[in-house]
Structure 1
């Protein structure tokens, strides 16, 4: 009998392998497992990043909607304020016009001299 079992031998199914080939095969298997684990982690990270991005996008859209609503409310209030201010200004102008007419009828010479003085001042200022 021989010491090395052969393919025909009942004690061994394959011829003995080189230890470097076995190490290389083991290293290739470990590298493939590492590559698969890295791909899985990358996929998990991508999924988590996409979920977080969606959350941020949703939050930003909600904030934008809130800001638009507040801006609309502000615009509405500003419009009301402008309308009220314009109405008050119209009332004041009408009162001043009425007073000016009354003054001009009661004291026409003084009103004429006052208008001339104001016109002269405005003309002097505009020349500069």
Structure 2
């Protein structure tokens, strides 16, 4: 019976050579290494995601600033163009009123009458 080493280990006479304990320890070690590797990869992924999110944030802020500047320029340009048109129309209306005062008065009365009729409804 002493010639067969598996008989001794099954009955507990040699616990240091138990294949199940060795396999269990090996599996636990492998699981711990896998958990550590997964935690490392998760940390790397989180850092990469945070970096990418910051890049997106920076790009969005830059684009928003660019759009705001362009909108401001467009508004300024449109306002100055509207002022020029207003000045031209005002000058034309003054010229028309000086050249044909009766017609200008009747036109103003007609427009006022139509606007008043619309507002009564």
Q: Same fold (TM over 0.5)?
A: yes
RMSD of the alignment, in Å?
2.5
Q: What is the CA deviation profile of residues 71-123 of structure 1, one whole-angstrom value per residue up to 9, with x for unaligned ones?
A: 21121111111101100100100111111111111111111111111111112
Q: Which residue is 1:9 aligned to?
A: none
| Max Rg structure | 1
**Offset of 1:18 from its aligned partner?**
6.0
- Higher helix fraction: Structure 1 or Structure 2? 2
SS in 1 for 2:67: helix
Query: What count of residue pairs does the alignment treat as equivalent?
Result: 115
Supply the distance in 2 between the matched residues of 1:113 and 1:126 (Cα, whole angstroms).
20
Query: Is it true that 1:116 corresponds to 2:100 in the alignment?
Result: no
Q: For 2:32, which of 30, 33, 39 is the aligned residue?
A: 39
**TM value normalised by structure 1:** 0.77
- The CA distance in 2 between the partners of 1:18 and 1:52, in whole Å, is 46
Match of 2:66 in 1: 73
Whole-angstrom distance in 1 between the partners of 2:27 and 2:119: 86
Superposition TM-score, scaled by structure 2 size:
0.81
Q: Distance in 1 between matches of 2:96 and 2:108?
A: 12
Unaligned 5+ segments in structure 1 are 5-15
